C-alpha cells in the first residue's frame, strides 16, 4: 500500500514509532534492534514500509533501508515466520548476518531470534537459500569483514567500549562508532581521529 513514509517523528517507543505526514499520524512497528537508527522526537524520518493486512488488523512495519525491507518480505514468506518473527530476526541480526547464516546453513545463528526455534530456522534456510544470490552472499561477507576490521582499530574499540560502559549495548555501540568513524574520516582523515572525538560524535547517533 505505502512504499515509504516521510514525515516527523511524534512518538518513539522500544518497538514502534508514530510518524506524522500531512497532519496524519501513522503507527509504524520497527525492529527493537534498529530503533536507535530512528531520529528523535520532532525530527524528520523516512521509513520504508510493509503493510500487513489481516481480518482483525492492518499494521505498518517500517525499515531504515530497502535492503532490510526486502529481506523482511523474504523472511515472512516462510511458513512459521510472521511479521513479528521477521522483526525479531532483524532485531538481533543484521541483514548481512542473516544472509550469511542462510547461505552457510547456520540454523543455530538464526535460532537466536526470540520465538524462532531450530526447526523454523532450518525451514528458513531451506526456503530461502536459493533466493539469496551469490552477489548478496559476497556482499555480506565483505560487509562483515569491513565491520570487523574497523572495530579492531584501537581508537574505534576504545570508543565502543566507553559507550558500553555508559550503558549502551555492544551492537548499538559498534554501530554508532562505525557511523562516527566514517563521518570524521571524511572531515579530517583517519590519522586525525581520536577516541574522544569518536565518542563525542558517536553519541549523536543515539
Task: Encode pLDDT of 9-53 as tens digits.
Answer: 999 998 899 999 999 999 999 988 788 788 889 999 999 999 998
Cell 572531515, residue?
Answer: 187
Say how far apart CA 145 and CA 120 lie, in whole Å: 28
**Rg, C-alpha atoms of the chain:** 18
Look at the alpha carbons of 5, 47, 128, 120 in this order and tell me if their dihedral is positive or negative: negative
pTM score of the predicted model: 0.65
pLDDT band at 91 (very low <50, low <70, confident <90, very high): confident
Are 19 and 40 within 8 A, CB to CB? no
When mean pLDDT is compared over 57-66, 95-104, 130-139, 143-152, the highest value belongs to 57-66
Say how far apart CA 150 and CA 153 lie, in whole Å: 5
Whether 204 has a pLDDT exceeding 90, the answer reads no
Which backbone phi and psi does 124 adopt, to 5 degrees? Answer: -60, -45
Percent of the chain residues past pLDDT 90, beyond the cut = 34
Q: Which residue has the higher pLDDT, 62 or 93?
A: 62
Are 34 and 90 within 8 A, CB to CB? yes
Look at the alpha carbons of 83, 204, 174, 136 in this order and tell me if their dihedral is positive or negative: positive
Amino acid at each position: 500500500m505505502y512504499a515509504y513514509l516521510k514525515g516527523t517523528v511524534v512518538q518513539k517507543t522500544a518497538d514502534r514509532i508514530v510518524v506524522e505526514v500531512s497532519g496524519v499520524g501513522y503507527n509504524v512497528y520497527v525492529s527493537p534492534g534498529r530503533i536507535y537508527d530512528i531520529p528523535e522526537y520532532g525530527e524528520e524520518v523516512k521509513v520504508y514500509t510493509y503493510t500487513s493486512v489481516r481480518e482483525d488488523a492492518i499494521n505498518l512495519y517500517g525499515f531504515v533501508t530497502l535492503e532490510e525491507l526486502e529481506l523482511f518480505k523474504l523472511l515472512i514468506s516462510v511458513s512459521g515466520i510472521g511479521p513479528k518473527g521477521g522483526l525479531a530476526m532483524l532485531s538481533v541480526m543484521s541483514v548481512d548476518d542473516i544472509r550469511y547464516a542462510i547461505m552457510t546453513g547456520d540454523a543455530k545463528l538464526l535460532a537466536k531470534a526470540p520465538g524462532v526455534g531450530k526447526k523454523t530456522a532450518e525451514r528458513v534456510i531451506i526456503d530461502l537459500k536459493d533466493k539469496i544470490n551469490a552477489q548478496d552472499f559476497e556482499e555480506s561477507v565483505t560487509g562483515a569483514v569491513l565491520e570487523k576490521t574497523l572495530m579492531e582499530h584501537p581508537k574505534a574499540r576504545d570508543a565502543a567500549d566507553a559507550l558500553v560502559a555508559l550503558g549502551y549495548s555492544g551492537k548499538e555501540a559498534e554501530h554508532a562508532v562505525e557511523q562516527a568513524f566514517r563521518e570524521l574520516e571524511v572531515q579530517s582523515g583517519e590519522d586525525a581521529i581520536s577516541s574522544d572525538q569518536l565518542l563525542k560524535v558517536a553519541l549523536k547517533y543515539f
